[in-house]
Structure 1
Amino acid sequence: MSALLEVRGLRKAYGDRLVLDSVDLDVHAHDVVCLIGSSGSGKSTLLRCLDLLEDVDDGTITLGGVEISDPLVDPREVRKRVGMVFQAYNLFPHLSVLDNCTLAPRRVHGDSKAAAEERALGLLDQFGLAEHARKHPDRLSGGQQQRVALVRALCTGPDLLLLDEITAALDPELVGEVLTIVRDLAAAGTTMVLATHEMAFARDVATKVCFLHQGRILEQGPPDQLFTDPREDRTRQFLARVLPA
């Protein structure tokens, strides 16, 4: 079966600093791919390249058989198929929760207000947020805001969901409520690529784990293999540092 997302030879530099170096990655429908590695290893930059928030210097990104890294491709068309959730939520503070969630379906997809609100309210209810639909984001906890950001990304019905360290800005007691939502999405078959420092979550939920080091995917494989019998010395060193003894 061909991959939904194919990345080949991806390179990205900021000036003289090479951030992504010849990255290859395949993501199939219903995969949950976890990107792990030290801060600065290239995880967030890779996700931003996949969403075309960053231009790539070399290599190709193909989504559903279409090369989306082609400079002639309209990023707005790509983002109709790709949803992204950021570490810092990035909700619009002047809009209500409901308006945050319906903005893209109405403006980008051309959905009617009624249709967009019906879908958004259904998802907000599913994620325990229905009572907050008319509130502004600053009235919500960090965990609630991050759940709203997830709902906003899902409201467009994306083929691929990208999650960039979505628990990193949360208090420890709020991490679990957000990860529970992501677990539910994985169980429902949502295709995801996520950068995370939550090793237990990656071990339990991922179909594939990729260890990034100095801009390269140094090792990738099923979580049982990568966490228990990594092939690379650098992977073993990283896991020894971040896994409980």
Structure 2
Amino acid sequence: MTGLLEVSGLRKSYGDRVVLDDIALTVAPHDVVCLIGASGSGKSTLLRCLNLLEEIDDGVIRFEGREISDPLVDPREVRKQIGMVFQAYNLFPHLSVLDNCTLAPRRVHGISQSAAEAQARELLTRFGLGEHIDQHPDRLSGGQQQRAALVRALCTRPQVLLLDEITAALDPELVGEVLEIVRAEAAAGMTMVLATHEMAFAREVATKVCFLDQGRILEQGPPAEIFSDPREERTRQFLRRVL
């Protein structure tokens, strides 16, 4: 099977500790792939490898058929097409929300300031941040900061969006407003790979769910299959604890 993003035989270690082992994954256009599993199972590291923030020890990562795990590939060129949103927002504190969202489109993608600002204003308004455009991140709630981080990623118009536990640092009442953006982008056809502990959301939105355990994808399949009839006992144990 071919996909927009393909991983085969991926292995990653830190010293003697194997963090990812023989990972195989295909992400087709418009897929929403949810990575689930206990903390420390390798979900975040896998996302960082896909974005070339971590060098892999073995295996191949391909994007649009091109091997991007080749050391000769410029990671900055890859990240123009594969965006990432982090758990800790990572907004620039000295910039306004608008400037955070227009920086990459202007400096990396060469979009004019007027076009970048028009796009950012439209997205920020759509996702309930229109009144906060000129504020700095420290004036926003956690949920607002994470929404701003999502808009910043969307402003670069990535082909694939990676989301790393983006609700983990939020108060429970703020989780829904962030997931609503992800839900809207999934409905619009955005290709996404996300690590999440939100099982109800994964069941509802994912096209594919991957259960990671000790650095391996123990099983993967449609949400109905993984949540209702998992093959592996380890998957059943995990789901009994979190559902």
For the pair 1:179 / 2:168, whether they are aligned, the reply is no
For the pair 1:240 / 2:240, whether they are aligned, the reply is yes
For 1:75 and 1:105, locate their aligned partners in 2 and report how far apart those are by CA, in whole Å: 17
| Cα-to-partner distance string for 1:13-59 (whole Å, 9 max, x where unaligned) | 00000000000000000000000000000000000000000001000
Which runs of 5 or more structure 2 residues have no equivalent in the other structure?
Answer: none
Q: Residue 226 of structure 1 corresponds to which residue in structure 2?
A: 226
For 2:77 and 2:66, locate their aligned partners in 1 and report how far apart those are by CA, in whole Å: 11
Q: How does 1:35-46 map to 2 (within 5 A)?
A: 35-46=35-46
For 1:204 and 1:196, locate their aligned partners in 2 and report how far apart those are by CA, in whole Å: 13
For 1:82 and 1:122, locate their aligned partners in 2 and report how far apart those are by CA, in whole Å: 22
Q: Residue 120 of structure 2 corresponds to which residue in structure 1?
A: 120
Q: Residue 133 of structure 2 corresponds to which residue in structure 1?
A: 133
For 2:187 and 2:2, locate their aligned partners in 1 and report how far apart those are by CA, in whole Å: 21
Question: Quick check: 137-146 or 123-132, which moved more?
Answer: 123-132
Q: How does 1:34-183 map to 2 (within 5 A)?
A: 34-183=34-183
For 1:73 and 1:125, locate their aligned partners in 2 and report how far apart those are by CA, in whole Å: 36
Q: Residue 8 of structure 1 corresponds to which residue in structure 2?
A: 8
Q: Percent identity?
A: 79
**Which TM-score applies when normalising by structure 1?**
0.98
Q: CA deviation at 1:128?
A: 1.1
For 2:132 and 2:161, locate their aligned partners in 1 and report how far apart those are by CA, in whole Å: 23
Q: CA deviation at 1:236?
A: 0.4
For 1:109 and 1:199, locate their aligned partners in 2 and report how far apart those are by CA, in whole Å: 35
Residue 3 of structure 1 aligns to a residue whose secondary structure is coil
Which AA in structure 1 matches 2:193? V
Q: CA deviation at 1:111?
A: 1.1
Which AA in structure 2 matches 1:131? E
Q: CA deviation at 1:2?
A: 2.9
For 1:211 and 1:102, locate their aligned partners in 2 and report how far apart those are by CA, in whole Å: 36
Which AA in structure 2 matches 1:101? C
Residue 12 of structure 2 aligns to a residue whose secondary structure is strand
Q: CA deviation at 1:150?
A: 0.2
Q: How many residues were matched structurally?
A: 243
For 2:74 and 2:199, locate their aligned partners in 1 and report how far apart those are by CA, in whole Å: 35
Q: CA deviation at 1:104?
A: 0.6
Which AA in structure 1 matches 2:75? P
For 2:154 and 2:41, locate their aligned partners in 1 and report how far apart those are by CA, in whole Å: 28
Which AA in structure 2 matches 1:209? V
**Which TM-score applies when normalising by structure 2?**
0.99
Which AA in structure 1 matches 2:82? V
| Cα-to-partner distance string for 1:186-240 (whole Å, 9 max, x where unaligned) | 1111100000000000000000000000100000000001000000010000001
